[in-house]
Chain A
Amino acid sequence: MSNEDSNGRDASAEADEASAATPEQWELRLYTAGQTPKSVLAFNNLKRICEEHMPGRYQIEIVDLMRNPRLAKEDQIVAIPTLVRKLPQPLRKIIGDLSDTERTLVGLQLRSRSQ
């Protein structure tokens, strides 16, 4: 775990620098539980942010836990909706309907917390 942490910090530093320059592939996964207004809202918000900050470099996978309940345990999902940044490393979890764009960007580490 500690190893990953130190890696994570390195990676985040790189990501901050890289976000401006080098193109990077983003792999995102949105966990929902059925088609609720919250999950629809979350998906729309996510789509908008991605288009704005990483056009053409992102991939969104929607996981409906109602259909795949096993994944909730495997991926340690508690809150719905949860957005998981699988790539770039490290893994980040953002919960909620993503209506707070600022915090979403912080969560995705597209913006540091101090800003």
Chain B
Amino acid sequence: MNARAQASAAAPPGRDAERSPDRNLPKSPTGIAGLDEITFGGLPRGRPTLVCGAAGCGKTLLAMEFLVRGVTQFDEPGVYVTFEESEEELAQNVRSLGFDVEALVQQGRLAFDYVHIDRREIEETGEYDLEGLFVRLALAIDSVGAKRVVLDTIESLFSGFSNMALLRSELRRLFRWLKDRNLTVVITGERGDGTLTRQGLEEYVSDCVILLDHRVDAQISTRRLRVVKYRGTVHGTNEYPFLIDAQGISVLPITSLGLDHRVSNERVSTGIGRLDNMLGGGGFYRGSSILVSGTAGSGKTTISAHFADATCRRGERCLYLAFEESPDQIIRNMRSVGIDLQAHVDAGRLRLEAARPSLHGVEMHLAQIHRLVSEFRPSAIVIDPISNLGNTVDASAMLLRLIDFLKTHGITAMFVNLTASGGALEATEVGVSSLIDTWLVLRDIEAGGERNRGLYVIKSRGMHHSNQIREFVITSRGIDLLEVYAGPEGVLTGSLRASQEAREKAAAVAREQEQQRRQRELATRRAVLQAQIDALQQEASTLDEEIGVQTRQYTLATDTIEQDRRAAVQRRSKESE
């Protein structure tokens, strides 16, 4: 969609539109990784292309690779006309890239011509033309049956001859001559002041112009390529970083940027059970990008190691890129918290790669990651950290490409970001937070003369996630997430939490003791009462007995009195007789 929009914008409805067959425009693939994607097929076939840039930006290399790949991959022999370096020098320079040009020359598929013009030994005396150059070109082209020609750099002619008007008309004739022969030509040109080339070569080459740039930013070099113009066809218009390494030039991205990658519903564990719970119970989505940010010493690497460990435990491969520590150091440090990375390394499931971020430019890192990924085919990758990969613009552009690349390959990526102390925790220096699916923030919580670690989930796309801050402690068995104490005094961690807990415990004990005491007291009181009841009952029964005794005594006494009265009566009666 984007490309089509560019095309309609790039092709005004005038004369260009008439002769813009768009996709019918025949193209010569360069074979250079990435360049054919950007140009949608290669350079215009049978037409000249201008490659310009400052000294040392890779013009010669690009031109040479175009020729060599033309020969080796597309069976199109080529001619290299050099104006600055001798054949031997050139061959030597490109040998380090794995191009054996001498062999190709011997096979008769590549021809060189070193056009050397020494102004000091030349005197101009009247009318002349550059027929000698044409003769040489024709001979070289015919000797190999060339389809591709490189002129590197034809601007040297301008310092060799003084008649500019003549030179310009001869150049015009040369380009016409090359076009008539249907040759695909790459012309290199040195960048001028405010112009694409010093001598205005773009005036002659109107079909395709590629600009190379080599910038050094904060002591890190980055090469870039931009298709300034490509008449009659769509092309990527951005600046693309490119690199030169043992395989030649590769322009990034190797794959086109898009948002059409498939997403997975599968969850992968974070390696920390309670963190999985915080993320809706399952962990990260496979193929998602995770950002772990925090200040120094907040435990980012340990979280990463847990994730790597969990990945390897599932029998999958994990690539761990360390920009700060050596692999041995990481292994040692993680062993101290109970994570045995060495076992995974030995089993071939974990690959630890270390590189200083300042060692390469951003584009080199990207290419390195590309290569490692295609070599090792990991299902997860950890980059620790991303924060010092370079300046903001470069690094975020690189990360955008990297994230895209990893997503299209379904690789779960964990990026570690070091936040500067005192800065906003919710800000990443490289500004990638919007590209991230799950963002974990580790923060220090300072209170009570202690520094404790807290973890929370800022966002996690596509899942319910906890909104709580958890305290996490690093133990000899790895990370443990604890519920934090949240009370009227805020979140308490560390010993404050511990003392709060102790206080609560003491209070509970006291309450229990009080309860028990009261229970005992009541029981005692009840026991006393019971005793009183018993005593009274005893007393009652004693009284009962007494009543019985008394009754019996009374009866006895009454009987005795009656008997005595009767006896007295009897005695009286006896006396009266």
Query: Which residues of A are in contact with B by a Cβ distance under 8 Å?
Result: 31, 33, 38, 41-42, 65-66, 69-70, 72-73, 76-82, 90-100, 103-104, 106-107
Chain A residues within an 8 Å CB radius of B161: 79, 95
Partner of A70, one of B126, B132, B134, B139: B139
Which of B11-19, B48-56, B114-122, B440-448 lines the interface with chain A? B114-122
Residue of A nearest to B115 (CB): A78
On whether the beta carbons of A65 and B128 are closer than 8 Å, the reply is: no
CA distance A97 to B129 in the complex (A): 10
On whether the beta carbons of A82 and B139 are closer than 8 Å, the reply is: no
Report the minimal beta-carbon distance from B138 to chain A, rounded to whole angstroms: 7
Partner of A79, one of B116, B128, B139, B140: B128
CA distance A76 to B118 in the complex (A): 10
Instruction: Evaluate whether A92 and B123 lie within 8 angstroms (CB atoms) in the complex, with A78-B117, A79-B128, A79-B161 already known.
Output: yes
Query: Which residues of B are in contact with A by a Cβ distance under 8 Å?
Result: 113, 115-117, 121-136, 138-140, 157, 160-161
CA distance A83 to B489 in the complex (A): 99
Instruction: Evaluate whether A73 and B122 lie within 8 angstroms (CB atoms) in the complex, with A65-B131, A78-B132, A79-B132 already known.
Output: no
Partner of A97, one of B117, B127, B130, B160: B127
Instruction: Evaluate whether A69 and B138 lie within 8 angstroms (CB atoms) in the complex, with A92-B123, A98-B125 already known.
Output: yes
On whether the beta carbons of B115 and A65 are closer than 8 Å, the reply is: no
Known A-B contacts: A65-B131, A103-B124. Give 9 more (CB < 8 A): A33-B135, A69-B138, A76-B117, A78-B117, A79-B133, A80-B132, A94-B123, A95-B125, A97-B127
Chain B residues within an 8 Å CB radius of A78: 115, 117, 130, 132-133, 136, 157, 160
CA distance A38 to B136 in the complex (A): 19
CA distance A90 to B122 in the complex (A): 12
Report the minimal beta-carbon distance from B66 to chain A, rounded to whole angstroms: 22
On whether the beta carbons of A80 and B128 are closer than 8 Å, the reply is: yes
Chain A residues within an 8 Å CB radius of B157: 78
On whether the beta carbons of A97 and B113 are closer than 8 Å, the reply is: no
| Most chain A CB within a 10 A radius of its CB, from B121, B122, B123 | B123
CA distance A31 to B129 in the complex (A): 12
Report the minimal beta-carbon distance from B113 to chain A, rounded to whole angstroms: 6
Report the minimal beta-carbon distance from B557 to chain A, rounded to whole angstroms: 170
Chain A residues within an 8 Å CB radius of B122: 93-95
Chain A residues within an 8 Å CB radius of B135: 33, 65-66, 69, 72, 77
On whether the beta carbons of B136 and A96 are closer than 8 Å, the reply is: no
CA distance A95 to B130 in the complex (A): 10
CB-based A-B contact count at 8 angstroms: 98
Instruction: Evaluate whether A104 and B123 lie within 8 angstroms (CB atoms) in the complex, with A73-B113, A80-B128 already known.
Output: yes
CA distance A100 to B122 in the complex (A): 14
Partner of B129, one of A38, A99, A103, A106: A38
Chain A residues within an 8 Å CB radius of B117: 76, 78
Chain B residues within an 8 Å CB radius of A95: 122-125, 128, 161
CA distance A33 to B130 in the complex (A): 10
Instruction: Evaluate whether A72 and B127 lie within 8 angstroms (CB atoms) in the complex, with A93-B121, A94-B122 already known.
Output: no
Chain B residues within an 8 Å CB radius of A107: 123, 125
CA distance A93 to B122 in the complex (A): 5
Instruction: Evaluate whether A65 and B132 lie within 8 angstroms (CB atoms) in the complex, with A72-B139, A73-B113, A79-B161 already known.
Output: yes
On whether the beta carbons of B128 and A33 are closer than 8 Å, the reply is: no
Chain A residues within an 8 Å CB radius of B136: 69, 72-73, 77-78
CA distance A80 to B128 in the complex (A): 5
Q: What would be 16 A-B contacts, judged by CB atoms less than 8 Å apart? A: A38-B129, A41-B127, A69-B136, A72-B139, A77-B135, A78-B160, A79-B129, A79-B161, A80-B130, A81-B128, A92-B123, A94-B124, A103-B123, A103-B126, A104-B123, A107-B125
CA distance A99 to B126 in the complex (A): 6
Chain B residues within an 8 Å CB radius of A73: 113, 136, 139-140
CA distance A69 to B133 in the complex (A): 10
CA distance A5 to B511 in the complex (A): 109
On whether the beta carbons of B132 and A82 are closer than 8 Å, the reply is: yes
CA distance A43 to B128 in the complex (A): 13
On whether the beta carbons of A76 and B127 are closer than 8 Å, the reply is: no
Report the minimal beta-carbon distance from B455 to chain A, rounded to whole angstroms: 70
Chain A residues within an 8 Å CB radius of B140: 73
CA distance A105 to B132 in the complex (A): 23
Instruction: Evaluate whether A69 and B123 lie within 8 angstroms (CB atoms) in the complex, with A77-B132, A80-B128, A95-B128 already known.
Output: no
Report the minimal beta-carbon distance from B139 to chain A, rounded to whole angstroms: 4
On whether the beta carbons of A76 and B116 are closer than 8 Å, the reply is: yes
Chain B residues within an 8 Å CB radius of A91: 121
CA distance A78 to B114 in the complex (A): 11
CA distance A80 to B113 in the complex (A): 18
Chain A residues within an 8 Å CB radius of B124: 94-96, 103
Partner of A38, one of B113, B116, B127, B132: B127
CA distance A2 to B212 in the complex (A): 35
Chain A residues within an 8 Å CB radius of B138: 69
Partner of A33, one of B123, B131, B160: B131
Chain A residues within an 8 Å CB radius of B113: 73
Residue of B nearest to A113 (CB): B123
Report the minimal beta-carbon distance from B456 to chain A, rounded to whole angstroms: 72
Chain A to chain B: the 7 pairs with minimum beta-carbon distance, closest first: A107-B123, A96-B126, A99-B126, A80-B131, A77-B132, A33-B131, A96-B125
Report the minimal beta-carbon distance from A84 to chain B, rounded to whole angstroms: 10
On whether the beta carbons of B125 and A100 are closer than 8 Å, the reply is: yes
CA distance A92 to B113 in the complex (A): 21
CA distance A101 to B458 in the complex (A): 86
Instruction: Evaluate whether A98 and B139 lie within 8 angstroms (CB atoms) in the complex, with A31-B132, A73-B113, A93-B121 already known.
Output: no
Report the minimal beta-carbon distance from A28 to chain B, rounded to whole angstroms: 13
Residue of A nearest to B138 (CB): A69
On whether the beta carbons of A33 and B127 are closer than 8 Å, the reply is: no
Instruction: Evaluate whether A99 and B125 lie within 8 angstroms (CB atoms) in the complex, with A76-B115, A76-B116, A78-B117 already known.
Output: yes
Chain B residues within an 8 Å CB radius of A100: 125-126
Instruction: Evaluate whether A103 and B125 lie within 8 angstroms (CB atoms) in the complex, with A72-B139, A76-B115 already known.
Output: yes
On whether the beta carbons of A96 and B139 are closer than 8 Å, the reply is: no
